[in-house]
Amino acid sequence: MNELFLLKLGEMVLKGLNRRRFEDQLLGNLRRRLAPYGSFRMYTLQSICYVEPQNEGCDLEGAYDALKHVFGVASVVRAHSCEKTAEDFVRAAVEYLSDDLRTAKSFKVESKRSDKTFPMTSIQLSQYVGGCLAERFPETPVDVHNPDLTVHLEVRDYAGYVYAGGEAGAGGLPVGSSGRAVALLSGGIDSPVACYMMARRGVRLDCVHFFSYPYTSNEAKDKVLELASLITPYTGKLCVHIVPFTKIQEMLREKCPEPYFTIAMRRFMMRISELVAQRIQAGALVTGESLGQVASQTMEAMACTEDAVTLPVFRPVVGMDKDEIIHTARQIGTFETSILPYEDCCTVFTPRHPRTHPAVAELREIEAGYDFEGLCQEAFQQIERVVIPVRDSGV
């Protein structure tokens, strides 16, 4: 059986002279993602990416599920290829979709003719194949308005294709097509969603996590690594840079006025994340901040944290409310892990009355007595790096 996958491409088809670069990035991502499932031939033509298994040993079920998580793909279809004759379309439909046609309550046929040299129009092909299928499966009536099953026929350059259904892909742009960034990954709900959303815009990510042992437990660190693993079907392989943050937090507890503690702490986080970004040649930082959600996420507080770095800071969930963020977290499978009761360093030494509208000048004055460059470099040199491989999306 000549089964293959047809991937309908998303917004990259609107690109101009650089479209080939996006398609090449997608093909590279697909090869890496499908490597565990066997040998596949892949190529793009007329806004379609063709993924053809090269032998009987390919795991088509696993590949199908993996393809639905690859950014840049608008929809995924399992199809049967055939010769470009009306009779071959009928044979392919009977062979490939007989079980579906027998169990469906009704059906219709829709055709798309990209190869204009094909002698029949789309309507003529649909009528011919639909009539033959109605004779072969008389127990399944034709319903052109509200069918239970739609048989799709496509006449393309190299072959004809028959399929039913298909599923939505992940959309967005291929990971790696929009550069590289460093995301601050906590154990909460918001930051994994922020990572997912930036990867969807084509950004390749490294993650930074701040670990304050013994104030935060090893279970809390394991939780963050699990969150990173859960998003790898979308982001691809991740490197998590685990920063020892205890010394800095203890210094801030001793020297920083309590209302400013959280903002000062976040400024240190941003500085260290920027050092990581410089090391890996990333062009931006990513946070899971949502405007007004907590005291450290007011407009003024965000200005204070961003003032500590020179790189642009992307906040993809900044305009989302909590329900929207939770909905996305459930969709990508991170929510249940995010709510496990292991605290991260952001909850250590939380001020009783945090300053919600700080000024940049106030933070700079407070920091004048700190050796923040030395403290950041010391933490940076002690970073533990954990590489998270791509997780089977079916797990």
For 143-178, the pLDDT digits (tens) are: 999 999 999 999 998 899 999 988 999 999 999 999
Say if residue 102's pLDDT is above 90.
yes
Which residue bears the tokens 């990209």? Answer: 114
Find the mean pLDDT for residues 267-293.
97
Say if residue 1's pLDDT is above 60.
no
DSSP annotation of 173: B
**Burial profile 67-94: b = 16 or more Cβ within 10 angstroms, e = fewer:** bbbbbbbbbbbbbbbbebebeebbbbbb
pLDDT of residue 99: 96
Say if residue 395's pLDDT is above 90.
no
Find the mean pLDDT for residues 305-313.
97
pLDDT of residue 343: 74
Say if residue 46's pLDDT is above 90.
no
Residues 19-42 pLDDT 10s: 999 999 999 999 999 999 999 999
Show the DSSP H helices in the chain as ranges: 19-34, 60-67, 86-103, 122-136, 190-200, 218-235, 246-255, 261-280, 299-306, 322-332, 335-338, 360-367, 372-381
pLDDT of residue 10: 86
Q: What is the mean pLDDT of the chain?
A: 94
CA distances from 312 to 17, 47, 72, 308, 315 (A): 27, 33, 24, 11, 10
Q: What is the rounded (10 degree) CA torsion for 332, 333, 338, 339?
A: 120
The terminus-to-terminus CA distance of the chain in angstroms comes to 28
Find the mean pLDDT for residues 71-90.
97
Say if residue 345's pLDDT is above 80.
no
Q: Give the integer Cα–Cα distance in Å for 316 and 305.
A: 16
Stated pTM of the model:
0.92
pLDDT of residue 16: 85
Q: How confident is the model at residue 2 (pLDDT cuts 50, 70, 90)?
A: confident
| % of the chain with per-residue pLDDT over 70 | 99
pLDDT of residue 351: 84
Q: How confident is the model at residue 331 (pLDDT cuts 50, 70, 90)?
A: very high
pLDDT of residue 394: 58
Find the mean pLDDT for residues 235-260.
95
Find the mean pLDDT for residues 262-281.
97
pLDDT of residue 121: 96
Task: Pull the structure tokens for residue 209.
Answer: 């996590």
Say if residue 287's pLDDT is above 90.
yes
Find the mean pLDDT for residues 91-102.
96
Say if residue 300's pLDDT is above 90.
yes
Residue 254: how many other CB atoms lie within 10 Å: 7
